Structure 1
Amino acid sequence: MTAKAPLVAILDDEPEIRRMLQDALEEAGLRTLAYARATEFEAALNRVTPDVCLVDLGLPDRDGLALVHRLALESGAVIIIISGRAQVQDRVTGLELGADDYIIKPFDPAEVVARVRAHLRKGRSGTERVAQEARFEGWTALFDRYLLVNKDGAEVAFSHAEGEVLRLFLESPKRLISRAQMQESLGGAAGDSFDRAMDVRISRLRTKLGEDPKNPLLIKTIYGAGYIFLGDVVWA
């Protein structure tokens, strides 16, 4: 049986942009669903599971950033913001809330297709490279369910973006990971926005792992060099 093409869900209240994105993505061999309102989009998520969500922030019926944050916590989809908000702080906030990428309007549809394909390739290679479950220091990371489970069975959800960082650490325990290596592995443009997004994701992972922010035991910052994950890791 032939595998289905990846599904891209588009949420934008501008009909021209929805049509333009659908045409470009379907021409590239991807399946699409498009929605004008957040309520329609959220209702559809009960029936379909997209691989990628393209989300506009300027929605008529919902705060776009709040929706991005919910998607990051509850779905396993890649989340790409498409917005006319071009300020650095807007991009940083979107990434902090769990988005995987941020594209500024106006854009070339070919760029969107290229970004979508890049994230899908990264996701497939990650799935093939390692198992979906890892155990470390009393914790179990379930990457297929986006959950951390402690030794007492309590569950803590993590976002797709946080999971990418956690996987990077668990794949290379007790080895220095530089900012440059993180940028090369996780993608995105190097610079202050990327660094700030990484700082926030790592801070949130530390919180979820019950780390003391002043003296973390698992994810150590090596100032001026990068990070080291100090736990023993066993992949299931």
Structure 2
Amino acid sequence: MIAKDLIDITFLPLKSSDTGNIALAQMDEYRLSHLPIVDNSIFQGIISDIDIYNFNAQDETLDNFLLTLNKTHIIDTHHIFDVIKAFYISKLPILPVLKNDNSFVGTISLYSLVMNYSEASSITNPGGIIVLELNSNDFSLSEIAQIVESNDAKLMNFHITTFHDSTKIEVTLKINKIDIQSVLQTFNRYNYIVKASFSENNQIEDIKERYDSLMNFLNI
């Protein structure tokens, strides 16, 4: 998945001929603190509500800000991981998407990024989650996948978390099986450290226990 696939079509850019009040109203409508300014399909930069308030420029046109605008953007063919990195570095709620000639393609919001990434990475699909802790030198994706598949399940996605000044890593697995007890038992047999596990069965059982407790209380 690349940047142009993540664009949120609900957000329209501002123009440099717009006033500060128009910009603030549009930000309020979109519930955003930043918006891109685009003139004739050419990206000019990003303006924030703080920029407008600090200069008391609600009645002035945005072309007064062009020299000081934030120029952060992403190229439309960049990978989703580059998009995530750009959001992390910039700390912005939006990310303009441009072609190589600086022409504006659209805007990625944090919401559209999360929604698209969730769909692409099977996060929203039914199943269980297992978190393993192991040394980085012991990590073998093929062995982990074999353990999962030996229990009639499929590895849908995985994520590795590293720690500063440590050889330990956490491997988070998303599998397509709701009842993950047999998978957990197999990992234990292979001497894997299961740091955490989450399944829809556990949530259902928890809800049932809470319901039964409530019914018992009401019957007292």
Question: What is the TM-score when the length of structure 1 is the normalising length?
Answer: 0.27
Determine which structure has greater relative contact order: mean sequence separation of CA pairs < 8 Å that are 6+ residues apart, divided by chain length: 2
Larger radius of gyration: 2
When normalised by structure 2's length, the TM-score is 0.28
